[in-house]
Chain A
């Protein structure tokens, strides 16, 4: 069965500093990969996605992620964080079956705290 590991439960970063959130997955086939962000009491917003092709993908709000097949990783990065980036971040993996998107498997999330 597939699984997703986000090893950092909490990360604290100073405003303006760079950010990297880690995500490792275990999957039998080449998955498709996502990062979502969740603000308190809200649903999930899609930041970026990887299906195939270029392993460095750009997303919204200045985020990017790099797919490394050899390391089974899909780490999220941002060169300079803003206070509004404080939120819960989830990595998710899935598989395309039957022509559509299958149910996603999520990690437990990383809580990002921004210090002024």
Chain B
């Protein structure tokens, strides 16, 4: 049973560029949440997708957007990258109606130079 997978593992971008991160949820899960974890901090909730719609959003600007596909996989897009966007981006999956626990992937390390 595959867990949550994310790609790529690492990414280096330049200020002003755009980036797309990808996530495949755990088998049987239909909900995907994205988190940003800056160095030395706890993860911060970006947004959550269910049934291909954004259902909940944290305190992040519109530069952060996402998408969920019919197979439940998800993408996180960040436009106009800033140095402060450098962080570990974590994807978590859960099952709506199947419990409240979220299972996390290994993350994508984004470095903005």
Give B45 Cβ to nearest chain A Cβ, in Å: 3
Inter-subunit contact A104/B96 (CB<8 Å): no
How far is it, in angstroms, between the C-alpha of A109 and the C-alpha of B42 when the chains are bound? Answer: 6
Closest to A100 in B: B96
User: Which residues of B lie under 8 Å from residue A36 when comparing CB positions?
Assistant: 104
Inter-subunit contact B107/A100 (CB<8 Å): no
Inter-subunit contact B97/A43 (CB<8 Å): no
Inter-subunit contact B31/A101 (CB<8 Å): yes
Chain A, residues 38-50, CB within 8 Å of chain B (1/0): the string is 0000111110010
User: Which residues of A lie under 8 Å from residue B102 when comparing CB positions?
Assistant: 46, 101, 104
Closest to A9 in B: B40
Interface pick from B12-20, B48-56, B61-69, B78-86? B48-56
Inter-subunit contact A99/B105 (CB<8 Å): no
How far is it, in angstroms, between the C-alpha of A54 and the C-alpha of B41 when the chains are bound? Answer: 31
Give B5 Cβ to nearest chain A Cβ, in Å: 10
Inter-subunit contact A43/B58 (CB<8 Å): no
Interface size range on A against B: 20 to 34
User: Which residues of B lie under 8 Å from residue A4 when comparing CB positions?
Assistant: 42
Q: Does B94 contact A (CB under 8 A)?
A: yes
Which one, A51, A105, A109, contacts B45 given CB within 8 A? A105
Inter-subunit contact B56/A90 (CB<8 Å): no
Give B50 Cβ to nearest chain A Cβ, in Å: 7
Inter-subunit contact A103/B56 (CB<8 Å): yes
Chain B, residues 71-113, CB within 8 Å of chain A (1/0): the string is 0000000000000000000101011110111111111000000
User: Which residues of B lie under 8 Å from residue A106 when comparing CB positions?
Assistant: 35, 42-44
How far is it, in angstroms, between the C-alpha of A102 and the C-alpha of B49 when the chains are bound? Answer: 10
Q: Does A108 contact B (CB under 8 A)?
A: yes
| Other A-B pairs beyond A43-B104, A44-B43, 13, CB < 8 Å | A43-B106, A44-B104, A46-B104, A49-B100, A90-B43, A92-B42, A94-B100, A100-B94, A101-B99, A101-B100, A103-B35, A103-B47, A106-B35
Give me the interface of A with B, judged by CB distance under 8 Å: 4, 32, 34, 36, 42-46, 49, 51, 90, 92, 94, 96-109
